[in-house]
Every structure is written in C-alpha cells, then in structure tokens.
Chains A and B, each alone.
Chain A
C-alpha cells in the first residue's frame, strides 16, 4: 500500500490532499477493526485468516476497480455482476470442452468481458443513452442471454481441468504462515497499474477531467466519446477477469452466478472514497474499500455473539458511517482551502492553481 504514495501525482505540492486523507483514514479504520476483531475472536490474527481474506477479496477488488474506472468519468456500470456470470460460465464451458491451461482461459474470460463492456460503451458513448439506463438494461439482458445459452445446465467443478480449483491456492512465497497467493498478487498488480495510469498518464487525467465536467472536457477538445467507450471496455475486461477468479473459487457455476455483485462493487468503490459524481477518487481507495468490506464480512461471521444474520445490517451501517465521515472531512478541507485560495487571490490576482483549489475536487486539482 506504500506504492500509493509513490505513484500519486506529485506536481501538486500539497501533502494532505483529500484522496490521501481518505486512504489513510480508511487504512486506519481497517487496522482498528482488525484490532477489535482480534479481541473478540480467538486465534484471529493468524496466517490462515490473512490467507482467507486475501483470496476472497480478489473478485470484489477487481470489480471495485471496474466500477471506479467508469465512475471516474461520471458514469456507472450496474452490469458487472451479469458480466462476471457470463464470463465465468463461458470460460468454464470452454475449459470443460477443451481442458486448456490458465493462459488461454484468462484470455477467453477477459475477451468475453471486454466484448460485453464494449456493448455498454457503444450505447453510452455513441448512442447518447445515460450509463445508468444502459447498464440497468444490460444487467438484465446479459443475464437473460446467459440463461438461454445455459439451458438450465451448470458448469460442474468435477468436469473442469484439475488446475482450475488449485489456482486459488498457488502461493508465490510464504512469510511466517502468511501466504502471498498468485490471485492476490494479480489483483494488486492490476490496481497499482491502473492507479499509475489514471494518476500519471494522459488518458487517466482525461478521464478525471471528463468526470469533473463532461461538457468542459468536450469543449476543451478531449475525445470524450472514445475515452468513455474505452473505460467501459476496460470495466468489462476487469469484470471478465473477475469472472475467471469467480470460476476458480466456486468451480460450479450456475446461470445466476455473480448476481448482486454490482451493488457490492459500487459499495466498495464508494467506501473507498470514489465520488459517485465522478472526477475524484483513486484506485487504491477502491481497493481499500473492497478490503474493508471483505474483512468485515469474513470477520463478523466468526464473532460468536453475532449471528450470521447480523452481517448485512452491520455492513449497511458501516458503509453509511464511512460516507458520512468522508463528507465531513471533505467539507472541512474545502472550507480551509477556499479560504487559503481566496487569500492567495487577493495577493496575486486569480491564478489557474488558485481556481483549481477553489474547486477543491481531490483528483481534479491538477487535471
């Protein structure tokens, strides 16, 4: 997680930028909840629990990244759950039929996801249909196509090549019982790569610019349609990758696989400080949001006093608490910075940097 500081843009001299405050706060909350759970649950701080969280968080992490990618440009993708289902099922089908290895399976899953994502992208970017309408429609549509294709049959774990179910347990190295597993490393690499691209590369900054103000971005001559299109393709590809991970974890895939993941992915991104209004937030934040939600889910079931039925009720309260805290912090920073910027303007007259500070948006400050 230390990478986040290294890859975040450094042109802005301010150290306490909002996204960094958000990430640090969330990291603190995660640490705090781990400490609390350690008191409540016997033998909690063991390698086994670390291994379980890092394995199970992979799917949600990839989906939170998929979601964040489109939310940054002020869109939303409610179809990720259905895309996971389709990608997992088709990849499972392909492996059952051919018995191929991991590389070709990964390619199939990612391509399936990207194709589905391109349908969303075409309709949003070139059809002029709002993302929430398109993806609400494809949420149903992709699921329907899968249900027709599957004819009610499941992909069965027993028919898959044996490497699939072992894929989750492939361990790169072990430190004192803490296994660093391949699937987790893949997820982290994806997050760090996207964080770098979004923070440092031209397409990334442009996506933030679109999310901050779509019409200003278009007026400034940015290729908004193609950027939005490709962010949906990227979101689909990530959902496809998540579909592969889903297959590796579950083995048996029905036509309803992955249903409901769309809301979990939005929740993870939002808890991670990604603004639903676009233009601000980070990939690392979304990742931390996913880790937080997954840690809670896996820990709450082990607290003896809490029945499994309490899990969602707690989760709802915690998500709410996280966003309220976020709003309070943001208001505080905005007030302080606009006061600073006003002072700077009185001294030197309006400058671009001063105006950007007035706007006070986190990721947008140097976009």
Chain B
C-alpha cells in the first residue's frame, strides 16, 4: 500500500537565533516515518542550507515536504530578492552573505552547491524582486 505524507514549515527571515530549528524538526519527523539514515541526512542537510538561505536573504519562506514510498520532494519557496545569476550562485565559494551570516559559520558560498550534492534532482526557479523556488528530489 502506498503512503504519502506532506508537511509544511514556515521560516521567518532574519531570525538568525533559530537557524536550523525547522530542519532539526524535519529530521525528527522523517525519522519517525522510518526513512533510512543516509536519506534522512541528505534531506536534513538540504533543508538546513535552504533554511539558512531564507533567514539570510528573505523576509519569509516555506519549506514544503512530500514523502512517498519512492522519494522525498522538497519545495522551498521564499519571497526574497531573487537570484540574478543562478550559475554564479551555484559556484562553490561564491557568496553575497553579510557579517551576521558569517558569524553563524555560514556564508561560505557552499549552500546551493551543497543542496545540489544531496539531491537526485535539483531545480532553481528565481525571479528578481519576487523570490526563489528550489525543487529538490531525493530518491528513497
């Protein structure tokens, strides 16, 4: 019998103290669904990086997760400034982070690259001044 679970988590921009909280919760929830540790880890790393991106660059965002027997689909949508040059943003080491982000140990320009590494399929849709949507698929 096939099962499907859906979760949605709001993430508040600029809330640096709570960075990572949602992803820790996501990992706990998915663990409860019996997701194996490697998949669990990749999913949580992808959501953590996305969460930090929302907090760092957007006013507000959402992490939506759909779990089926075959895969985990993560859609991350934010109402941030958008990405002007996606190819550049994907490069390791490229970052537009400010000091608050760097003090937390982020802003090294690894985020999107890291998310891609954890994904079996990864897509970015972004519009300047409107926001960004990341579609991350991880096969179980």
Please say whether chains A and B are actual partners in one complex.
no
A interface vs B, CB < 8 Å?
none
